[in-house]
Structure 1
Amino acid sequence: MTIVSSRRTLRRPPITVSQEDFDRLYALAEAAADRQPEVAENLLGELERAKVVPASKLRSAVVGMGSRVTFEDEVTGKVQTVELVFPGEADIAAGRISILTPIGVALLGLSAGQSISWETRSGERRQLKVHAVEQPS
């Protein structure tokens, strides 16, 4: 199964992204296409379907770059809080998740209360639900 076809079969709620995040992430995905083609393709796919708005119009409960997100893995019941960051800032031990990971791409643009199906790098399907979103101060 290709990434494109698997993306279509996963449940994808509507997402919203700021224009600034869209511009930076689009450039990042294009730059990462040779090194991480699957994640780059998934990120570009999410950006293509996103509603893009000026940062001033983005609701505070929407996951963007730098947001702290509390979510539940609906398969395991595990709840965790992470910060969505650019690759150079990622540190799993400190709870900073790169946008260039499958879960980072899945979280982008979601709002509190939304759920999404996504695939791990090993192809395992997971379901997560966003409980809370905090923006950087």
Structure 2
Amino acid sequence: MTEKILNRPCPIKGHFILSPILDRLRRVLLLLRHRQARKARIKRFIRRVLGQRKRLPIAESDYYRLIKVLRQEHARGGVHRKLCARLRYLLSRADHLPLRLIPDDMITMNTRFLLFNRSGKRFVLTLVYPEDADKAKGNISIISHLGMSLLGRCSGEYISESLRVDAIVYQPESRDDFHL
């Protein structure tokens, strides 16, 4: 009688009540497998993107100012410890370039640029030091995930699957504004 009600065979004879529970467990296992597969795809994408960036090109003046910012954040005991550690790692892998050798289409500190996303929107942003960060004005702090992934990128490069640096609007090094 219960077999007719549930209309599902149970793998264990005589335990018809277990069938709905086993179905729920199967659904949960499928969901977990889907999430694990998604995480694996994301990790592969991150490895591929990081593999493209062998060494981070950075202006010498930006390098020394960023080291100073990291020291200040460490002394302040800021909440951005993990982000500071990631920035410190990126700086350890950096190629220090003289200001005159910085390409005109590369994002450096205080560079204004266009960011293009997959839905067709364009954003005008500026990569700045933490004290100048203001999302309303489009100033992105270097001590953020987006800021670190932007540093050293050239126009036309993808930051993620959906974000691309479209164009450089203003770069201090190309206009000989070395005081910024």
One-letter amino acid of the counterpart of residue 65, structure 1: M
**Residues 1:101 and 2:144 are matched in the alignment:** yes
Shift of 1:110: 0.7
Cα gap change, 1:131/1:22 in structure 2, threshold over 3 Å: closer, same or farther?
same
One-letter amino acid of the counterpart of residue 96, structure 1: N
- 1:116 & 1:11 partners in 2: Cα distance? 8
Higher relative contact order (CA closer than 8 Å, sequence separation 6+): 1
What residue in structure 1 maps to residue 98 of structure 2?
A: 54
1:31-64 deviations in whole A, cap 9, x for unaligned? 3244111110121122222221011111111111
Contact 1:30 1:40 in 2 (8 A): no
Matches within 5 A, 1:121-132: 127-132=162-167
Matches within 5 A, 1:16-27: 16-27=57-68
- 1:50 & 1:61 partners in 2: Cα distance? 18
- 1:130 & 1:63 partners in 2: Cα distance? 9
Shift of 1:77: 4.5
One-letter amino acid of the counterpart of residue 171, structure 2: Q
Shift of 1:24: 0.8
- RMSD between superposed Cα atoms in Å: 2.6
What residue in structure 2 maps to residue 11 of structure 1?
A: 49
- 1:55 & 1:66 partners in 2: Cα distance? 14
Shift of 1:87: 1.3
What residue in structure 2 maps to residue 120 of structure 1?
A: none
Identity of aligned residues (%): 28
- 2:104 & 2:98 partners in 1: Cα distance? 13
Helix, strand or coil at the partner of 2:159: strand
Shift of 1:29: 2.2
Contact 1:89 1:96 in 2 (8 A): yes
Matches within 5 A, 1:53-132: 53-74=97-118, 76-117=119-160, 127-132=162-167
Helix, strand or coil at the partner of 1:70: strand
Scaled by the length of structure 1, the TM-score of the pair is 0.76
Helix, strand or coil at the partner of 1:38: helix
Larger radius of gyration: 2
- 2:81 & 2:157 partners in 1: Cα distance? 27
Cα gap change, 1:113/1:80 in structure 2, threshold over 3 Å: closer, same or farther?
same
Higher strand share: 1
5+ unaligned residues in a row in structure 2: which ranges?
Answer: 1-42, 176-180
Cα gap change, 1:48/1:10 in structure 2, threshold over 3 Å: closer, same or farther?
farther
Shift of 1:10: 6.0
Matched positions, count: 125
**Residues 1:45 and 2:86 are matched in the alignment:** no
5+ unaligned residues in a row in structure 1: which ranges?
Answer: 118-125
